[in-house]
Each structure stands twice: as structure tokens, then as C-alpha cells.
Structure 1
Amino acid sequence: MPTENQPNCAYRERISSQSISLARVTMVNGLQWQLYPVDFKTEEGTFSVYLYAINLEHAAATLLELKETAVLRDGDLGGITRND
């Protein structure tokens, strides 16, 4: 994270650009799950995350649950594995 001696813009310049491909639609146990974008705003700008849900109401319920229970996992994305 940036410190007083290392402003946010310098921190952002060091982040390498890589992509992750997500299927727009996937089938799970015979149900079609769609990808829904979730936007959020910070002092640094507007960002997006994505979640899978069966429909918009399911996505809204999942977002509410996420807001109430989410925690940041240790490690970077390269070290994260499925937890199911």
C-alpha cells in the first residue's frame, strides 16, 4: 500500500496489467448463472467486481450478503484456490 513517501500514482504505476477471463453465462447443477457487474466508488475512482447469480434478484441478495460478511483473504490472486 502507498505510504506518505510513496503517493498513490506511483503505486498504480507498479501494478502489472493481466487479465482474467470470466464466462458471461455458466451452467451449475442444471441452472444458468449469469455474470453481474457490481460498481463501487472510492476516493481513487469507480471500480467494478463481478458475481454470478441466477437472476437480478439473486444478484441483489448475494450483494447484500457480501456486504454483510465479506473479508479480504490473505495472499494475492495467484495464491488463491477454489474453496468448495
Structure 2
Amino acid sequence: MKSQAVTLAQSVVVGGVKWQLYPADFKTIEGTFSVYLYALNREHAAAILLELKETAVLRDGDLVGITRND
């Protein structure tokens, strides 16, 4: 299986608003892993993370590619 690195910008501007990248760590029996999300500030990132914890579901199928949308 060929792996590909993904590079994320530290911040992005969308509609004139700056979004910062925030890491979130989670622990499983396999170890500690990280996900990254964009938010307006740390409090916003915490709110997004809470919403993810309450509503996230795994999509059907495997990831077949990554496309930039900028």
C-alpha cells in the first residue's frame, strides 16, 4: 500500500475570516492518535470537537484520494 503525506496550512482565510489549525489527541488500546481541525479560536475548536464526539459517524467505503479545494 502506497502512503501519501498530507500537508495542512497552519491557518486559512475563508470569506475574509482566518481559521487556525488545532490538533486533538485521542487514546485507544492501540495508542494515542491525532486529528486536526480548523476553527476560529481555541473555544471554537473545543465546541467543534464536542459536536464531533456527539455526531460523527464513519463513512461507508475507503478513502481513495485527497483533493485540494483552494
TM-score, length-normalised on structure 2? 0.84
SS in 1 for 2:64: helix
**Aligned twin of 2:13:** 27
The whole-number CA distance in structure 2 between the counterparts of 1:66 and 1:41 is 16
* Higher percent of residues as strand: 2
SS in 2 for 1:71: coil
CA RMSD of aligned residues (A): 2.0
Alignment map for 1:1-84 (pairs within 5 Å): 16-78=2-64
Q: Residues 80 and 70 from structure 1, CA distance in 2 versus in 1: closer, same or farther, beyond 3 angstroms?
A: farther
TM-score, length-normalised on structure 1? 0.71
Query: Alignment length, in residue pairs?
Result: 68
The whole-number CA distance in structure 2 between the counterparts of 1:73 and 1:79 is 14
The whole-number CA distance in structure 2 between the counterparts of 1:16 and 1:79 is 12
Larger radius of gyration: 1
The whole-number CA distance in structure 2 between the counterparts of 1:17 and 1:79 is 11
Any unmatched runs of 5+ in structure 1?
Answer: 1-14
* Identity rate, percent: 73
The whole-number CA distance in structure 1 between the counterparts of 2:15 and 2:49 is 22
C-alpha displacement of 1:31: 0.6
Any unmatched runs of 5+ in structure 2?
Answer: none
